[in-house]
Amino acid sequence: QNAEAFRWFDPFIADGSCAVESAGVLKGGRVVWVLAKIQGEEAKAGNKEGDIALAYLMLSLSHDGSLPVQVSFTATRVVCWNTISAALRKANASGSTRRLRHTASVHDNLRSVRDTIDLARRDFSASAAVWAELMRAQVAPTRAEEVARFQRYMRETFNPKAAEILARGDDLPELRNEGELWSTYTQGPGADSAGRTAWGLYQAATHYQDHIGGRTADSRLSATWFGAGRETRQRAFDLAVAMLAR
């Protein structure tokens, strides 16, 4: 079943559109994934030379029925391997995640993968323009304001009930990991290149989500790609973009 699913990448590897870089399993082998880099796509991901993001397609399937065979767009910041797949539109709503149906013709499934590649290129370019704006948006002019905005940003990002709490007029509770998040924001991988900006906040949140939170590397990756981590990352992105309107 794995080989049958992954064969959909073959024509795009052959024509140079993609190059498979890694593959693996999650949940004890019940979920299988493969990452293919979309050739020719990179964007600035920080203020230092060489800090770039690359575009990927991820093909995934499960043996326990929890996931369909699907191909989706993701982006990665190379300096810290943060997943930055949140774009201007949520993936499932925009169609940048496509299901490959066993009952479909080869032609239809190949067209679905090709459409995903084309959409990924457009989304990557549009997202990179927003990332550049986030890199220019300083969090605050003073240390006190910066700390207050950092706390508000992280509490809204990592508390899934934040909107309900704020709607009641209550204060958001402090996060247990706030100190660790501050260290990630100010001293973590790529922090010096991201700067004390809206982009820096977003990168700190995604780095914690991808590499620090959760019990194991397997659970973190599973949550980031297929679970609640996607929603957390989307909130982090949306909140960072909202800072541009200040």
pLDDT of residue 94: 44
CA distances from 188 to 122, 142, 175, 212 (A): 30, 21, 18, 11
How big is the CA angle at 49 (ends 43 and 51), to the nearest 5 degrees?
A: 45
| Structure confidence by residue, pLDDT tens digits, 62-91 | 777 666 677 778 888 988 888 875 444 444
Quote the CA–CA distance of 234 and 49 in Å, as a whole number. Answer: 27
Model pTM score: 0.84
Give dist(CA 199, CA 206) in Å, integer: 10
- What is the pLDDT, as a whole number, of residue 91? 40
> Which tokens go with 9?
């990448």
The residue assigned the tokens 């910066």 is 146
Determine if residue 195 is left, alpha or beta; phi over 0 gives left, psi from -120 to 50 gives alpha, anything else beta.
left
Provide the residue-wise pLDDT of the chain in tens; the chain has 246 residues. Answer: 566 656 777 888 888 888 988 888 887 777 888 888 999 999 999 999 999 999 988 887 777 766 667 777 888 898 888 887 544 444 444 445 555 554 455 456 667 667 777 877 888 888 899 999 999 999 999 999 999 999 999 999 999 999 999 999 999 999 999 999 999 999 999 999 999 999 999 999 999 988 898 778 777 777 777 777 788 989 999 999 999 987
Q: What is the pLDDT of residue 2?
A: 61
Longest CA–CA span in the chain (Å) reads 60
For residue 74, give Cα distances in angstroms to 57, 87, 188: 6, 9, 22
170-176 CB contacts, 8 Å cutoff, 24+ apart: none
| Cβ atoms of 74 and 85 closer than 8 Å | yes
Residue 23 CA to residue 92 CA, distance in Å, equals: 22
Structure confidence at residue 10 (pLDDT):
81
> Per the structure block, which two tokens stand in for 74?
């993701």
CA 56/CA 36 separation, integer angstroms:
5
Distance separating alpha carbons of residues 59 and 6, to the nearest angstrom: 7
| Contact predicate 77/227, CB 8 Å | no
In 10 A of CB 33, how many CB atoms? 20
Please answer whether residues 183 and 150 qualify as being in contact, where contact means their C-beta atoms are separated by less than 8 angstroms: no
